[in-house]
C-alpha cells in the first residue's frame, strides 16, 4: 500500500471515529495508536510516551492556559457590559447601530480573551436582550453576536494562531501582527453587512412605528466621551501585552502571564466583585478548557509524527506540486477542504491535524506561511458559524434559548459570505496581511 493510500485510510478512519461523538483528543489517540500498531515497527510503540510528552513540552504552549484564564476573568466580570455600552453610544446614529456596537465590542473583547466562544457568550448575554428590546429581528441580533464572536480566533492574542505557530514552527509574534489589520478589516466588513441587512429589513416598516423607531438612539457627546473612561483600561492592557511582546521584552508565554496578572488586578480594582468562589470556578474552567486543548495538541502531534514516519506529508506535497495545476486552484481546493472540516471539527483540532500536512504544500507552491496562517484562521471562523457543528451557533442558542435555531442560522450564514470576501481580498492583496509583520520583523 502506498503512503498516500495509507494516509487516506488513516484520515477517513479518524473522521469516522470523531463522528461517533467521542472527544476529539481521544479519537486522535485511538487512530494514532492503531496506526503505529498497523503500519510501523512495534518497537516504535515503546516510544509512545516520549512522543506525547515531547509534543507538549513546549514553553510557548504555556501561553494557552494564561490567555484562557485572562478571558475567563473578563467573561465573568462587568467588563463585557462596559465595552458594549461604550460601543453602543458611539455607533447609535448608524442604522443597526446596536448590532454594529455588538460586533465592535466583540472585536475588543476578542483581543482580551483570544476565545471565540467566550467572546460570543460575554457580549451576547448583554447585546441580544438589548437588541430584542429595541425591535431588532432575531436574525440580525443573533447573527451579529455569532459572527462577532469569531473574531476571537483572529484578533491577537489568539489561541488558534499560537497553535498554528507551534504546529508549523512559525513566529507567534509575526502571526499576531499578521492578524491585526485583517481583524480590523473583517470587523468593518461585518459592520457593513449589518447596516445593509438592517436597511433591507426596514423597507416596508414605518419609521413612526415602534419597530422602526427603536433602531436609532442618540447620545450627547459628553456621555459618549464619558463611556470611554471605562474602556481605556482595557485598551491599555491590550497595548501593554502587545508592547511587551513586540518590544522583545517577553516571549508570548511571558506576555500572556503579564496579561493574566494585569487582568486579575484590573478586575479586583475596577469591579471589586471577585470572590474566592468565583476565582476557584474560573481556575477550574481554565484548567478544563486548557487540558482539552493540550490533549488535542499532544495526540495531533502524535498522529503527525506517525504520518511523517510514513512519508505521507512529504509524498502528498510532492504529488500536488507535481500536478499540472495552477497554485491558485490548489489553494481553492485547500480552502474548501478546510471549510468542510470546519462543519464537523473544532478549529484547534483542525489546525493541529492539518497544518503540518498542508504546510509543505503551501511553502512548495511559494505561498507565505504567515499569510496562510491568517487564511487558515479565516476558514476556521467560517466553520464556527456553519451547521451542523458551528460552535458559536450553540453558544448563542445557549444564552438565547427562546430564539429558534433557524433564526440564528439565518442571521449567521450571510457572514460566511463576508468571510469569503475577506479571504478573496487577502489572497489578491497578501500585503494587507504581511505588511505589518514584515515592517516590524524586517
If DSSP states are collapsed to H, E and C, what string results for 226-280?
A: HHHHHHHHHHHHHHHHHHHHHCCCCCHHHHHHHHHHHHHHHHHHHHCCCCHHHHH
Q: Looking at residue 114, what is its pLDDT?
A: 66
Cell of 17: 471515529
How far apart are the C-alpha atoms of 283 and 12, rounded to whole Å? 37
Pair 32, 303: CB distance under 8 Å: yes
Q: Looking at residue 160, what is its pLDDT?
A: 86
Cell of 94: 448608524
Cell of 48: 509512545
The arithmetic mean of pLDDT across residues 197-220, rounded, is 57
pLDDT tops 90 at residue 383: no
How far apart are the C-alpha atoms of 245 and 239, rounded to whole Å? 10
The arithmetic mean of pLDDT across residues 243-256, rounded, is 75
Rounded to 5 degrees, what angle do the CA atoms 409, 411, 416 make?
A: 80
The arithmetic mean of pLDDT across residues 8-36, rounded, is 80
How far apart are the C-alpha atoms of 168 and 165, rounded to whole Å? 6
Q: Looking at residue 352, what is its pLDDT?
A: 81
Pair 78, 284: CB distance under 8 Å: no
Torsion over CA of 56, 59, 61 and 65, rounded to 10 degrees?
110
pTM of the model: 0.76
Query: For residue 57, with 0-12 CB atoms within 10 Å meaning exposed, 13-18 middle and 19 or more buried, which class applies?
Result: exposed
Ramachandran bin of 95, using left for φ above 0, alpha for ψ from -120 to 50, beta for the remaining angles: beta
Alpha helices per DSSP H over 151-171: 159-168
In whole angstroms, what separates CA 15 from the centre of its chain? 22
Query: For residue 34, with 0-12 CB atoms within 10 Å meaning exposed, 13-18 middle and 19 or more buried, which class applies?
Result: middle
How far apart are the C-alpha atoms of 114 and 159, rounded to whole Å? 6
pLDDT tops 70 at residue 214: no
The arithmetic mean of pLDDT across residues 245-272, rounded, is 79
Cβ atoms within 10 Å, residue 20: 7
Q: Looking at residue 427, what is its pLDDT?
A: 93
Pick the most confident of 307-311, 333-337, 398-402. 333-337
Segment 13-20 long-range contacts (CB within 8 Å, at least 24 positions apart): 14/303, 14/353, 15/344, 18/344, 18/345, 19/344
pLDDT tops 60 at residue 215: no
Torsion over CA of 387, 393, 397 and 400, rounded to 10 degrees?
-140
Burial readout 142-160 (b: 16 or more C-beta within 10 A, e: otherwise): bbbbbbbbbbbbbbbbbbb
Mapping DSSP onto H, E and C, the string for 105-132 reads: HHHHHHHHHCCHHHHHHHHHHHHHHHHH
**Average pLDDT score, the chain:** 80
The arithmetic mean of pLDDT across residues 228-238, rounded, is 77
Give the contacts of 76 (CB within 8 A, at least 6 positions apart). Answer: 278, 281, 282
pLDDT in tens, 342-376: 776 778 778 887 888 888 888 888 899 999 999 99
3-class secondary-structure state, position 210: helix
Give the contacts of 130 (CB within 8 A, at least 6 positions apart). Answer: 84, 88, 98
Cell of 129: 436582550
The confidence band for 225, taking pLDDT boundaries of 50, 70 and 90, is: confident
In whole angstroms, what separates CA 128 from the centre of its chain? 21
Cell of 210: 415602534
pLDDT tops 50 at residue 209: no
Cell of 414: 450571510
- Residue given cell 429581528 in the structure block: 137
Amino acid at each position: 500500500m502506498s503512503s498516500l493510500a495509507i494516509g487516506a485510510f488513516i484520515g477517513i478512519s479518524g473522521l469516522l471515529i470523531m463522528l461517533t461523538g467521542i472527544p476529539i483528543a481521544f479519537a486522535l489517540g485511538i487512530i494514532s495508536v492503531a496506526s503505529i500498531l498497523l503500519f510501523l515497527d512495534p518497537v516504535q510503540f515503546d516510544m509512545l510516551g516520549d512522543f506525547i510528552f515531547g509534543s507538549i513540552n513546549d514553553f510557548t504552549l504555556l501561553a494557552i492556559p494564561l490567555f484562557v484564564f485572562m478571558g475567563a476573568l473578563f467573561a465573568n466580570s462587568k467588563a463585557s457590559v462596559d465595552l458594549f455600552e461604550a460601543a453602543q453610544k458611539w455607533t447609535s446614529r448608524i442604522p443597526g447601530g446596536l448590532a454594529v456596537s455588538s460586533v465592535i465590542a466583540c472585536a475588543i473583547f476578542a483581543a482580551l480573551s483570544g476565545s471565540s466562544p467566550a467572546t460570543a457568550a460575554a457580549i451576547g448575554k448583554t447585546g441580544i436582550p438589548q437588541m430584542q428590546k429595541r425591535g431588532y429581528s432575531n436574525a440580525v441580533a443573533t447573527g451579529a453576536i455569532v459572527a462577532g464572536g469569531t473574531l476571537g480566533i483572529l484578533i491577537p492574542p489568539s489561541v488558534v494562531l499560537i497553535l498554528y505557530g507551534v504546529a508549523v514552527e512559525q513566529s507567534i509574534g509575526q502571526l499576531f501582527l499578521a492578524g491585526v489589520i485583517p481583524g480590523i478589516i473583517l470587523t468593518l466588513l461585518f459592520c457593513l453587512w449589518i447596516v445593509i441587512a438592517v436597511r433591507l429589513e426596514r423597507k416596508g416598516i414605518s419609521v413612526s412605528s415602534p419597530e422602526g423607531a427603536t433602531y436609532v438612539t442618540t447620545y450627547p457627546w459628553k456621555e459618549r466621551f464619558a463611556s470611554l473612561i471605562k474602556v481605556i483600561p482595557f485598551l491599555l492592557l491590550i497595548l501593554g501585552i502587545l508592547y511587551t511582546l513586540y518590544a522583545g521584552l517577553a516571549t508570548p508565554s511571558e506576555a500572556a502571564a503579564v496579561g493574566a496578572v494585569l487582568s486579575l488586578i484590573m478586575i479586583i480594582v475596577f469591579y471589586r466583585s471577585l470572590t474566592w468562589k468565583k476565582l476557584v470556578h474560573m481556575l477550574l474552567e481554565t484548567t478544563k478548557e486548557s487540558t482539552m486543548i493540550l490533549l488535542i495538541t499532544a495526540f495531533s502531534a502524535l498522529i503527525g509524527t506517525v504520518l511523517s514516519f510514513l512519508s505521507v506529508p512529504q509524498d502528498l506535497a510532492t504529488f500536488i506540486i507535481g500536478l499540472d495545476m495552477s497554485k491558485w486552484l490548489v489553494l481553492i481546493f485547500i480552502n474548501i477542504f478546510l471549510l468542510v472540516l470546519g462543519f464537523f471539527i473544532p478549529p484547534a483540532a483542525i489546525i493541529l491535524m492539518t497544518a503540518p500536512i498542508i504546510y509543505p504544500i503551501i511553502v512548495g507552491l511559494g505561498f507565505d506561511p504567515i499569510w496562510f496562517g491568517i487564511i487558515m484562521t479565516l476558514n476556521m471562523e467560517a466553520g464556527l458559524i456553519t451547521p451542523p457543528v458551528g460552535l458559536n451557533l450553540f453558544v448563542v442558542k445557549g444564552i438565547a434559548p427562546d430564539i429558534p435555531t433557524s433564526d440564528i442560522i439565518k442571521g449567521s450564514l450571510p457572514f460566511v459570505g463576508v468571510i469569503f470576501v475577506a479571504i478573496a481580498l487577502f489572497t489578491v492583496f497578501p500585503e494587507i496581511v504581511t505588511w505589518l509583520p514584515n515592517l516590524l520583523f524586517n
